[in-house]
Amino acid sequence: MKLLLTHIKELLQVRENCPAKLSGKDMKKLPTLKNAWIFISHGIIEAYGTMDKMGPHQGFKTLDCSGKIVMPAWCDSHSHIVYAGNREQEFVDRINGLSYQEIAEKGGGILNSAKKLQETSEEALYHQSAARLEEVMRLGTGAIEIKSGYGLTTEAELKMLRVAKKLSEEYPITIKTTFLGAHAIPSDYKNNKDGYLDLLCNEMLPKVAEEKLAEYIDVFCEEGYFSVADMERILSEGKKYNLTPKVHVNQFNSIGGIAAAVKHNALSVDHLEVLTDADLEALKNSETMPVALPSCSYFLSIPYTPGRKMIDAGLPLALATDYNPGSTPSGNMNFVVSTACIKMRLTPEEAINAATINGAYAMGLSKTHGSITKGKVANLIITKEIPSYGYLPYAFGSDLIDTVIINGKEIK
Ligand code: NIG
Ligand code: FE
């Protein structure tokens, strides 16, 4: 399919040679073209420019984008959208005063979701997850990472990853998958964590690799979950199967997970709500992308990742949703971008860069996603008529999206 968008009020994130990631001061710049056009063909960005220099693109479907802004679709590099059921009772428990950790200690939390998922058929899991994927696509997400981690048995972990794989086959959105067998210690192994690690390393990992179900490996490195030593064992084992680390660290406590993940060449370290100066130093001069998940902080009422401080220290930063039933039952990247501006003091330019180019980097998609660049995948958001791009994070509760195009296709 060929499509021409004309009279675009402003085309955002236009980069002829797009860098793989943006750090520090470079995040303040958002290159744009005013009064622009863009031409896409067979799912690829073919050409773009300003209206005074539009080529003879005729005979194709044309959308007049007068008054509207066009930008690359969001790149959500951290989600858990394959899950079964919901946990609204825990939400009420938290309102009534229990903490996330106290709920988990009572058998709620991740283990609650794992029980539900183990009892859910692969088909039902697919349908529940597909509904969420369709929702996030309508909200402007054009590429997403999906983790396992609510299975916690070999069979259920494989079920989750097969569902994610089927979603990637059925939908135009680009999906990257991550094996997160080390999300929590299942009840059967309550007093035998090493036994679970053996199962993960000797049974789960080889099967995930054999069926080519994941490209990345994740660990919830946190007090009460997996230690730094556990994480190092799992990442070393994952490396044997060419799985690249993308890890949950520093959500509640700083226990040395960041430095260890950087040492293991992690593609990203995610959460970072608690960040010490030593953690920040460990990220400097590394290729690891720090990822903030502000809607998780919002939902759990925990600190926000110190994004302002990190960018001012010259670091890169990506933004993602963390869409999951426990800490973030929302996959809305528009809300994430607003919340990063409002609560983390990122400028609109920094937040948009963090949710496009840097999000693409954090899931290994820098060459194909995250910017308006010739030859990249045609993943576009067309906004409603709005005064400026700063209005997007400013009007935080409004639905400002008119049309979403993913892989060249209009999403209905
Ligand atoms: O990223 N913190 C670990 N994992 C998820 C939440 C898991 C859950 O509560 O179900 C997260 O926040
Ligand atoms: Fe997460």
Distance CA 197, CA 410 (A): 44
Distance CA 21, CA 242 (A): 22
pLDDT at 259: 98
Mean pLDDT on 104-114: 92
Per-residue pLDDT tens over the stretch 327-350: 999 999 999 999 999 999 999 999
For ligand 1, say whether the CB of 327 is within 6 Å of any of its atoms. Answer: yes
State residue 68 phi and psi, 5-degree precision.
-105, 155
The answer to whether residue 179 scores a pLDDT higher than 90 is yes
pLDDT at 412: 82
Q: How much of the chain exceeds pLDDT 70, in percent?
A: 100
Q: Which atom of ligand 1 is nearest to the CA of 222?
A: 2
pLDDT at 158: 98
Mean pLDDT on 169-173: 98
Per-residue pLDDT tens over the stretch 293-315: 999 999 999 999 999 999 999 99
Residue 257 region by backbone torsions, left for phi larger than 0, else alpha for psi between -120 and 50, else beta: alpha
Mean pLDDT on 371-377: 98
How crowded is residue 267: how many other Cβ atoms within 10 Å of its Cβ? 21
Mean pLDDT on 282-292: 98
The answer to whether residue 256 scores a pLDDT higher than 80 is yes
Mean pLDDT on 174-200: 97
Topology given in CATH for the domain delimited by 75-361 = TIM Barrel (3.20.20)
Instruction: Please classify residue 354 by burial: count the beta carbons closer than 10 Å to its beta carbon, then call 0-12 exposed, 13-18 middle and 19+ buried.
Output: buried
pLDDT at 317: 99
The answer to whether residue 405 scores a pLDDT higher than 90 is yes
Q: Which atom of ligand 1 is nearest to the CA of 112?
A: 10
Domain 2-72+371-410 has CATH 2.60.120.10: no
Using pLDDT thresholds of 50, 70 and 90, give the confidence band for residue 106.
confident
The answer to whether residue 138 scores a pLDDT higher than 90 is yes
What residue ranges of the chain are covered by domains with CATH 3.20.20.140?
75-361
Using pLDDT thresholds of 50, 70 and 90, give the confidence band for residue 105.
confident
pLDDT at 54: 86
For ligand 1, say whether the CB of 32 is within 6 Å of any of its atoms. Answer: no
Mean pLDDT on 126-135: 98
3-state secondary structure of 94: helix
Q: Which residue has the higher pLDDT, 226 or 412?
A: 226
For ligand 1, say whether the CB of 110 is within 6 Å of any of its atoms. Answer: yes
- The gap from C-alpha 137 to its chain's centroid, in whole angstroms, comes to 13
The answer to whether residue 188 scores a pLDDT higher than 90 is yes
The answer to whether residue 361 scores a pLDDT higher than 90 is yes
The answer to whether residue 4 scores a pLDDT higher than 90 is yes
pLDDT at 71: 98
Average pLDDT, the chain: 97
Q: Is the dihedral of CA 184, 186, 192, 195 positive or negative?
A: negative
Taking CA atoms only, the protein residue closest to ligand 1 atom 8 is 326
If one residue of 77, 79, 80, 218 were mutated to test the ligand 1 pocket, choosing by the most ligand atoms within 8 A of its CB, it would be: 80
pLDDT at 59: 75
For ligand 1, say whether the CB of 245 is within 6 Å of any of its atoms. Answer: no
Dist. CA 111 → ligand 1 center (Å): 11
The answer to whether residue 65 scores a pLDDT higher than 90 is yes
Taking CA atoms only, the protein residue closest to ligand 1 atom 3 is 220
For ligand 1, say whether the CB of 112 is within 6 Å of any of its atoms. Answer: no
If one residue of 223, 327, 336 were mutated to test the ligand 1 pocket, choosing by the most ligand atoms within 8 A of its CB, it would be: 327
Dist. CA 199 → ligand 1 center (Å): 21
Dist. CA 287 → ligand 1 center (Å): 25
The candidate with the shortest Cα–Cα distance to 353, out of 322, 406, 384, 315, is 315
The answer to whether residue 194 scores a pLDDT higher than 90 is yes
What residue ranges of the chain are covered by domains with CATH 2.30.40.10?
2-72+371-410
The answer to whether residue 91 scores a pLDDT higher than 90 is yes
Q: Which atom of ligand 1 is nearest to the CA of 270?
A: 1
* Residue 357 amino acid letter: I
pLDDT at 55: 74
Q: Which residue has the higher pLDDT, 56 or 284?
A: 284
Taking CA atoms only, the protein residue closest to ligand 1 atom 12 is 327
Taking CA atoms only, the protein residue closest to ligand 1 atom 9 is 326
The answer to whether residue 274 scores a pLDDT higher than 80 is yes
Mean pLDDT on 365-392: 98
Kindly give, in sequence order, each residue whose CB lies less than 8 Å from that of residue 65, ignoring residues fewer than 6 positions away.
Answer: 5, 6, 7, 8, 9, 382
